[in-house]
Amino acid sequence: MRVILCALWAILQVSFCANGQTDSIRVLVRGRAFDAADPNRRLDDLMIINLRTNQGTFGLADGSFQSVVERADTFIIASTGYEFRRICLADSAGRAEYFLRVPLTRLNVQLKEVAIFSPRQLDAIYRDIEKLGYRKRDFQIGGVDALQSPITFLYQEFSRLEQLKRRNAERINNERRRELLRELLANYAAADIIHLDNSEFDDFIDFANIPEQYMKTATQYDFCIHVKRKFELYRMTRGRKF
């Protein structure tokens, strides 16, 4: 009897190990996401996010994408303005490569722009956003020509003091960018567009990684939709409901 039990235990152990090894096998996932109503529509910010690693990659504007994942991984395919799709291949037939066709359904987002915000407050924030950035020349001795004054030019380019000046200017500009983003997030949170505590603002700003150029060029509506979409992904990767 003891021999039989030991044999069964050994078989179960081998089975568990085999399943674990199968789940950890890395596979290539390729495919194309597309607008379910308009398959030829561009998807300019298609994202593929692995929920196990909290890391992601961008797809191409034509909707094509590829990513290497473990078979047991759950990953999300998302694009601004669309409902996300959650995919796991654990129950699929084992293979080294998968090709997926992923239709995305557009979100129906309603924003009460007049009732939500004070226009003067938002306009003031966006005026400050337009002022973001700094010019490298502002932190140089002058408009130095590399050929006419090579020593001065090299000093400005490579001296520790001048490098420190430029890094300080970058730091100040970045801190101002984050400060303005916190103001916008506070407005969006007050309007129930996103649900963030003040203590989460900095973590969300790091996660969203919104480029300064996009902040300066996007319309208020597009920016708001972009932040809302980033917030949805943020909550999914943090394992919390919203």
Identify the band that residue 22 occupies on the pLDDT scale cut at 50, 70 and 90.
low
Same domain, residue pair 134 and 95: no
As given in the structure block, the two tokens for residue 87 are 């995919």
Q: Output DSSP code: residue 106.
A: B
Residue-number span of the structural domain to which 186 is assigned:
113-238
The per-residue pLDDT for 44 is 79
Q: Which secondary-structure segment (H or E) carries 29?
A: strand 26-35
Own/partner long-range contacts of 62-68 (Cβ < 8 Å, ≥24 apart): 62/32, 63/32, 63/33, 63/34, 64/30, 64/31, 64/32, 65/30, 65/31, 65/32, 65/33, 66/28, 66/29, 66/30, 66/31, 67/28, 67/29, 68/26, 68/27, 68/28, 68/29
Same domain, residue pair 158 and 76: no
Q: Residue 53 CB: number of other CB atoms within 10 A?
A: 12
Domain boundary among 104, 128, 158: 104
CA distances from 167 to 86, 162, 170, 211 (A): 41, 9, 5, 18
Give tens-digit pLDDT for 135-181. Answer: 555 444 445 444 455 555 555 555 656 666 677 777 888 888 888 89
The per-residue pLDDT for 202 is 92
Same domain, residue pair 175 and 193: yes
Give tens-digit pLDDT for 87-127. Answer: 998 888 788 899 999 999 987 655 544 344 444 566 677 77
> What 3-state DSSP class applies to 88?
strand
Same domain, residue pair 92 and 190: no
> What 3-state DSSP class applies to 73?
coil
Same domain, residue pair 99 and 180: no
Same domain, residue pair 87 and 35: yes
Domain boundary among 87, 104, 121: 104
Number of domains composing the chain: 2
Same domain, residue pair 32 and 97: yes
Give tens-digit pLDDT for 218-241. Answer: 888 888 888 988 898 888 877 554
Same domain, residue pair 120 and 188: yes
Same domain, residue pair 223 and 165: yes
Same domain, residue pair 54 and 156: no
As given in the structure block, the two tokens for residue 68 are 């290497």
> What 3-state DSSP class applies to 61?
coil
Same domain, residue pair 127 and 234: yes
Same domain, residue pair 156 and 65: no
Select from 52, 90, 80 the least CA-distant residue to 229: 80
Give tens-digit pLDDT for 29-80. Answer: 999 999 999 999 988 788 888 888 878 888 998 999 999 999 889 998 988 7
d(CA 90, CA 122): 46
- pTM for this prediction: 0.47
Mode of pairing for the β-strands spanning 64-70 and 74-78: unpaired
Q: Residues near 232 by Cβ (< 8 Å), separated by ≥ 6?
A: 78, 84, 242
Domain boundary among 104, 124, 144: 104
Identify the CATH number of the domain in which residue 50 sits: 2.60.40.1120
Identify the band that residue 21 occupies on the pLDDT scale cut at 50, 70 and 90.
low
